[in-house]
Each structure stands twice: as C-alpha cells, then as structure tokens.
Structure 1
Amino acid sequence: MRYAIVSETYPPEINGVALTVQGLEQGLRARGHKVSLLRPRQAGETATGLAHEWLLRGAPLPRYPGLRFGLPATRRLLAAWRTAPPDAIYVATEGPLGWSALRAARRLGIPAATGFHTRFDAYMRAYGVAFLERAALHWMRRFHNGADATLVPTRELQALLQARGFANVLRLPRAVDTQLFRPQHRDRALRAAWDAVGEAPVAIHVGRIAAEKNLALAVRGFRALQRERPDARLVWVGDGPERARLAREHPDFVFCGVQRGQALARHFASTDLFLFPSRSETFGNVTLEALASGVPTVAFDYGAAREHLRDGVHGAAVADGDDAGFIAACVRIGSDDALRARLRGATPAAVAGLRPERVAADFDAILQRLQRARRPDARAATA
C-alpha cells in the first residue's frame, strides 16, 4: 500500500503529536508499506528532506517558540496526487496544511482519516478567551467531518465527540516503548545531581511548560508535599513560555530542559511521583511513559489516566476539577515511602500490553478499510 501522512509537527520537535505521528509512520513502514511524510520545513532544514519526505513552506506558531504550521498547499498536493495518488492519507493536524490535504483528497477521491490530537477548544479557557470555546469546537468538527474517519485514543473521547456531532469516530489506542521506559533505568547519580538525598521523594512534571497545562496546581501539590517532606524535590522536563517565570519564582525547582530517548527514560525512572495536572489533553502520552517507568502517577480521571491508571493501584485518578483531591493525593503518595514502593511495583503492568506493533497493525487495518470503502469513488475521480 501507498500511504501519505500529513502533519505540521514532527521530531526533532518534542510533543505528543509529533512523537505519535512518528510512531505511526515507522509502524506502517515496518509493515512493508510505502509511506510519504508531508510536513513544514523546520528551522535550519534545506528545501529537500529524506527521500520519503515532502518539506513544504511553513511559518512560526505564535506563542510557541520552535513550532511551526504549514502554509496552504492544495494546488501542489493536487498536482502530485493526480500523478501518484496514495491509497489513503492520514492528517494529524488541523492547520492550513491539514486543510489543504483534506481538500485535495476529497477532490481526487482519496480516502482520508484524521487524528484528533489536541483539545483546542479547552485551550481557549487556559488562554483567557473562553468565549471562543464553542467556535473552536465548531471549526474542529468541520475539519474532521471532512474526512472519512476521525481517530481518537480513548473510548471516553470517542463518546464525547460522537455526542457533539463528529462523524465516524474510531478508537486507535496509543502505544508506549516498554523496552525504553523501564524502572531499571533509575539512576542514583542523576538523583544526586538534583540534591535528592537518600530516599527523598522526587516529583516530576514532563511536558510543555505552558499555560494550558495547569501548572499552578502541580506547584501547589508539590508545596503541600514539601510541608510534610522538606527533603522533597520537584523536577521539570521540557520547555515552554512559562519556564522563565517558574524558575524566577521558585529557585529551588530543578529544570532539566527537553530530554529525549534514553535520557528521558532515566529522568522518569529516577523519580518517585509523576504530577500531571493538565485538564486539556486528548490523551497524555507521558502518562504511559511514567507508568512504564514504574512511577506512581497523580492525574485527573480522563484521557490516558482513565484508560489505563487504576486509582490506588498505580497512583491516583482524581475526579475532574477536584484540585483539593489532586493536592491531597500528592501529599498522601509522596510522603509515604512504603505506599510509593507498592505502587511502583504495580505500575509497569498497567501498560505492558500497549505494544507499538499492535497499534501499527490496527492503524493499517483502519486505512485499508477506508480504502476498500472508497475504491469506486477513487476510480470515478481518476476518470
């Protein structure tokens, strides 16, 4: 099969969408398919990428340094896909390039699936423009309903979108590399670099350090823990527009910047409590990485936490919006060495079955099913 994947973010950019897209692309290629990747050129890249990449024009994303969005390219895609049409396409992002890909696919009768990766409607509230929430949802519904299917990672999100008028919403679970993220990567030298003495509890937050992540709650939870355990430390992995302010206001916090691969695995496994206060995620891949690393997790009960985290077994799944419950869970787990040890032993089992090759097979099956359903339309469009 010949597939095309369209995304406005891709590694070395570090975010959940970029890494998920990379995993799906590599999974399809490992199954023997030809996969072309369409994305904006990133800073410092030349006009041509690897043989399977189409690097298109882009522009910086406001308020998100280092990220870009693709500019419209409908004519170029129409010209290319008329000559060599893919059997199906997957559009991961709702930017101008994503809209262009859907327009071209519709005109040519090429089956298309989209990925619902980002709750832009929820972001509106985080950035103080809650009055735009309904407009954002309408815009997203229009985009995704222009495809043959919308792929989501959880049953909860599937039901939510269906109730709000999204058509043909299909669940595609997320995977985690359990060979990379493992408790065995715990590193005492790294803990010592954080001034974590002995069994001092180390909490960690991994992700973009930005307003939509509800970071103030992580700070409140940690400070409450610190009142019980003055030796506790809080480590931040990632970067973003809020980092400078947090570092200025909290000089005892440890900021490690962006970490990848083995380095990220060591950072996760060397900590004792993962704080994930965000309420605007579609999933939260970092939750799977924390669980695989043997790190008890405190998160709100939605997304990855609802799908995979059992309250009291792998950490705490807190009722949505219960900030006091989130803080209490931070204190309860973070201050109890014996409880953390018990939870740590149980967490890897929560994600043991989420193998990347299984997700790639499911993804492949969805695209092939869409292709079979649209095949008569595609022949007519070509004619």
Structure 2
Amino acid sequence: MANTVSFPSSRRIVIVTDAWRPQINGVVRTLESVGKVLREWGHSVDYLTPEAFWTVPVPTYPEIRLSLASRRAVFHRLAHSRAHHIHIATEGPLGLLARQYCIERGKGFSTSFHTRFPEYVSARLPVPQDWSYGYLRWFHDPAGNTLVPTPSLRDDLAARDFKHLKLWGRGVDMERFQPGKSDVFAHRPGPHLLYVGRVAAEKNIEAFLALDVPGTKIVVGDGPDRVRLEKLHPDVVFCGYRHGDALVEAYQGADVFVFPSRTDTFGNVMTEALACGTPVAAYPVTGPKDILTDGRAGALHTELSVAVRRALMLDRRDASAHAQNFTWAASARQFLDGLVPATVRLPQLAEAI
C-alpha cells in the first residue's frame, strides 16, 4: 500500500505513546532510538506522550502514569500535525484516543505490540488472559500494520488471530555499549551473575534469585517487589537503577547476564549485555530464542541454572560480535517500511466504525 502513495523526502511522523520518560523500559528506549535515526535521515518525528497532560499513577506501579488527556486535546494535536504517518505505539488512554481519531477521520495508521499485558495482568489479578488478548486484538485490528519485534511473537499473535503483522526489530547503541571488562564487582566473590530490569513479578526475577549456582547475584533496577525480595535474599546485591557509564560498567563487570523473563517480547537489555561482551543465559522463549541465534553468544535451557553454567564457558568476544547484528539503523528502516499513509483509508476502518 505504501508504494501507491508519493511522499516527500522528509516525512512527518507522529508517534503516540502512553509509555514515556521518566519510565525506564524497552518501549521508551526503542521509540527514542528509532526517532533519533529517523531525524538524522531528515524526517520529522513528533511524539504525543503523557508529558503534555495531567496523569495519574497506575496502582502498584507508581512510576507508570496514565494520561488524563481529553478527546478534544488529542484530536486537536493530531489534526494540526499534518502527519504523513500516525503510529500508535501503546494501547493505553492516549493510544485509544488516537485510534478513535483515525477511525472517525478515516486516517490510515499503524500500531505496534510491545508488551504481553495479558500475562502481566494475570500475574497480579484474576483476569483470564483470553479476555486481555481479546481487547488487544480489538485494539490492533483496524491498523494497516501491527509491528512486532520478533518472528516468534509474530507467529504467536497470528495464532491468536491478530492480522497485518510485520516485523520491526530492535537495535543497540554500539557507541555507548562497548566490549570491555570492568572490576566494578571484583570485591565480591565470582562468578558475577547480573540481572538488569524491573524488580517485579512479571519479570520472573525470583527464578534468578533462587539459582543454586556459585558466585554473586547482582540486581540493577528497581520495582514494586524490591523491598520484599531484598529481605528474602540478603546475599543478593541490589544496586537500584544505574545509568550511563555506571550501567555499562555493570554489564562489563558481569561474567554472565541472566534474563529470567518468560513474557518479554524482545529484551533490549540482552543486546546491551552482548554488546558489552557479556554472554546471556535465558529460557528458550520469545525474545531470547530470537536474539540468541548463535550458541556462542549465549545459552538457552529450560533449566536456568544449566543455561548459566553453559554461558560461563562462552567467549566474550563472540558475544560482542553477535551484538553487531542489532542496529538501530536497521530497526528504523523496518519501522519506516511498516508505516501506513494517513491519507489512505484502510478497508478495515469501515468495519471498526
């Protein structure tokens, strides 16, 4: 469809997202990184985010805030953007209003699937996953394309009757995350096993904390379960959030990066660890099995302790070499190719009204 519409060399793109700073997660990192590349290529990228509106915190997730934007305000912003493309990145309040705008005005749009909310919700509330997937299927169905980060997630969503799925991979900042070996954890017994991410139930972090392997477990990140888990695991080093050089040093100082999640759709932290030369240990599930396609860069096993032991035997040079396969330029190209012209009325829009 995109080939039937002529665009200027500089396209105007609006990305609507409920996830934005000060949140620290893969969605925000991805949208910022791709936007930076697109701007370098001469495109105009505007973000419609909760920053412009009053917000309220999500219960149990105070760092995640939902927008209280009005229909009028969102419709006004989108109408005056004169966007060639509208991309709706999240399924929250802003995403819903943007979806409504596009359907009512007959605008073509694309969406992306970043997070397995059905699994996240069911980990905390007695809500059947089928209900949540039903909502997500309804949300994405009118889109011209729904962009997904990995082939295995695409296949899973297709089996759940999601339509118009296209791949949109992820990258890693090679200038920031570079191979090396720091001594930041040298004062603690090795080997050093690192986890980076939210300290929350949906990340399956307790599988990491319960590992019966020698060495020191280190957690970089924060979240609603941190206080409880610190008390249960006094032998684990909880560092809180680390940014910039301190985060790079944490990756470089680890012998193995452990990724215990079974529900992440990609896992940007894995590519960051690989870029720093740290092999990854993970379960053979969506995300890890799409990233760790070279057995020299990481180890997958249904028993996480086995994956850790195997990863400890890998060469850091192979890990950093594998990371070169993930670039933000390639990700930005896939994103651009997956956008839908706002001027083209999609057949499925008539059904959604």
Distance 1:329 1:82, change over 3 A: closer
In the alignment, which of 252, 256, 264 is matched to residue 269 of structure 1? Answer: 252
**Partner deviation per Cα, 1:179-223 (whole Å, 9 max, x = no partner):** 211222x221x124xx325xx2100000000010111210122xx
In the alignment, which of 37, 41, 45 is matched to residue 35 of structure 1? Answer: 45
In 1, Cα distance between equivalents of 2:102 and 2:86? 8
Partner SS state of residue 191, structure 1: coil
Partner SS state of residue 49, structure 2: strand
In 2, Cα distance between equivalents of 1:353 and 1:329? 22
Partner SS state of residue 161, structure 1: helix
Give me the TM-score of the superposition, normalised by structure 1.
0.83
Distance 1:176 1:83, change over 3 A: closer
Aligned 8 A contact 2:53 2:69 in 1: no
Distance 1:244 1:220, change over 3 A: same
Partner SS state of residue 194, structure 2: strand
In 1, Cα distance between equivalents of 2:112 and 2:197? 20
Aligned 8 A contact 2:220 2:239 in 1: yes
Aligned 8 A contact 1:310 1:317 in 2: no
Larger RCO (alpha carbons 8 Å, 6+ apart): 2
Could you tell me which runs of 5 or more consecutive residues in structure 1 were left unpaired when the two chains were aligned: 42-54, 227-231, 378-383
Q: CA deviation at 1:114?
A: 1.0
Q: CA deviation at 1:144?
A: 1.0
Aligned residue number for residue 65 of structure 1: 62
Moved more, 78-87 or 100-109: 78-87
Over the residues paired in the alignment, what is the CA RMSD in angstroms? 2.0
Distance 1:304 1:147, change over 3 A: same
Q: CA deviation at 1:28?
A: 1.9
Aligned residue number for residue 87 of structure 1: 84
Could you tell me which runs of 5 or more consecutive residues in structure 2 were left unpaired when the two chains were aligned: 1-10, 348-353
**Partner deviation per Cα, 1:120-173 (whole Å, 9 max, x = no partner):** 1111332252x4211000011111113221100111111111121111011011
Aligned residue number for residue 250 of structure 1: 233
User: What does 1:1-383 align with in structure 2 at a 5 Å threshold?
Assistant: 1-41=11-51, 55-129=52-126, 131-184=127-180, 186-188=181-183, 190-192=184-186, 195-196=187-188, 200-221=190-211, 224-226=212-214, 232-310=215-293, 312-318=295-301, 322=302, 325-334=303-312, 339=313, 342-367=314-339, 370-371=340-341, 374=344
Aligned 8 A contact 2:262 2:286 in 1: no
- Residue identity in the other structure for 1:276: F
In 1, Cα distance between equivalents of 2:70 and 2:39? 25
In 1, Cα distance between equivalents of 2:177 and 2:319? 12
Q: CA deviation at 1:311?
A: 6.4
Structure 1 runs (4+) deviating above 6 angstroms are none
Aligned 8 A contact 1:220 1:327 in 2: no
Aligned 8 A contact 1:144 1:150 in 2: yes
Partner SS state of residue 183, structure 1: coil
Higher helix share: 1
Q: What percentage of aligned pairs have identical amino acids?
A: 35
In 1, Cα distance between equivalents of 2:77 and 2:226? 42
Q: CA deviation at 1:333?
A: 4.2
Aligned 8 A contact 2:264 2:287 in 1: no
Give me the TM-score of the superposition, normalised by structure 2.
0.89
Q: CA deviation at 1:243?
A: 0.7
Aligned 8 A contact 1:8 1:97 in 2: yes
Aligned 8 A contact 1:5 1:25 in 2: no
Q: CA deviation at 1:271?
A: 0.5
